[in-house]
Structure 1
C-alpha cells in the first residue's frame, strides 16, 4: 500500500489538534474552525482508501471516487455529524464513513448502492442531491447487506 496513505490517520489527528488549538485561541469570540465541505470529503476518500485498499480516481471523476481491488466502482461519502449524506446518482458500491477528531473513522455503510438509491432516489434537495440519513444507512447495512457484499477491511 502507498506509504502516504498509511499516514492518513495520524495526519487527521494532527489536523483536529490544530483545529482545537485555534478554537481555544479564539474561544472568547466563539470562533469555530470545523473542517467541512471538500476537506471532509477528501479526508473520507483517503481514509477509505487506507481502510479498504482502494485506488482513488482523480478529483471530479464522474459518479465514483475509487475502484476496489476486485473492480467495483466505489462512491465514498464522509461526514463528521450524525445526520446524513447525499448522493447525486446511484453508485455501484457505496462506503459512508463518519470521521472522528482522533483520526479514526466509523463505517456507517459498506455495500451495493442500489438499496440506498431505492430509499433516497425519490427525494431531491435544491442542490440536486438525494439525502439519506445515517440511521437509514445503518439499518440497510444491518438488514440488507451481506458480509460477502461488503468490501473487506485491510488488516
Structure 2
C-alpha cells in the first residue's frame, strides 16, 4: 500500500499550521511547510514506515540504513514537485521519495527503489541542484523490481 496516514505527532503540527492559516486568513498568509522541515518530516516518517536507522546529519547523501543494511536517501515534498538532487561524493543504495498531501493528512510513497534507477533521468554530472519531474520519478518507480523495494514494517 502506497498511501498512508501521517503519524499523529505530524498531524498535530499540520493542524496547528492550519489554525494559523485560518486565523490570518485576511492577510493571505500560507504558512507553507517546506524546505528542511518537510525533509525532516520525510526522514521521520520513512524511519517509522520502513524501520530505518537514521544517521546523524553529515551531508553525504545518506540519511540512514535499512534493516537489511542498505544505505538510504530520503526525499520528500509537500509542494507537489519531484525530488531534487545535488552532486555528492557518496550515493545511497536506495531512495525513498514521499509526497505529502498536508490538506488531507496523507502521504504517498512515490518511489521506493535503488537510487541509481531514479538518477538515470539526470545527466551523469552537474553543478548545483537538479530535479526530476513528478512524471519522471513515477516513471522511474515503474522500473523497480518488487524484490528491490524496501518492505514496510507498519
TM-score range, shorter chain: 0.7 to 0.9
Asked if structure 2 preserves the Cα contact closer than 8 Å seen for 1:93 and 1:112, the reply is yes
**What CA RMSD, in Å, does the superposition of the two structures yield over aligned residues?**
1.8
**Structure 1 residue 100: deviation in Å?**
2.7
Q: Which residue of 2 aligns with 1:85?
A: 83
Q: Secondary structure at the match of 2:121?
A: helix
Q: Secondary structure at the match of 1:114?
A: helix
Distance 1:14 1:136, change over 3 A: same
Query: Could you report, residue by residue, the CA deviation over 1:91-126 in whole angstroms, capped at 9, with x for unpaired residues?
Result: 32100001232543200000011121121235857x
Looking at both structures, which has the greater relative contact order when contacts are Cα pairs under 8 Å and sequence separation is at least 6?
2
Asked if structure 1 preserves the Cα contact closer than 8 Å seen for 2:81 and 2:133, the reply is yes
1:2-13 alignment runs, 5 A limit: 9-13=7-11
**Structure 1 residue 50: deviation in Å?**
0.3
Could you tell me which runs of 5 or more consecutive residues in structure 1 were left unpaired when the two chains were aligned: 1-7
Q: Which residue of 1 aligns with 2:151?
A: 152
Q: Which residue of 2 aligns with 1:110?
A: 112
Pairing 1:136–2:105 present: no
**Structure 1 residue 61: deviation in Å?**
4.4
Q: Which residue of 2 aligns with 1:97?
A: 98
Could you tell me which runs of 5 or more consecutive residues in structure 2 were left unpaired when the two chains were aligned: 1-5
Asked if structure 1 preserves the Cα contact closer than 8 Å seen for 2:62 and 2:92, the reply is yes
Q: Which has the higher helix share?
A: 1
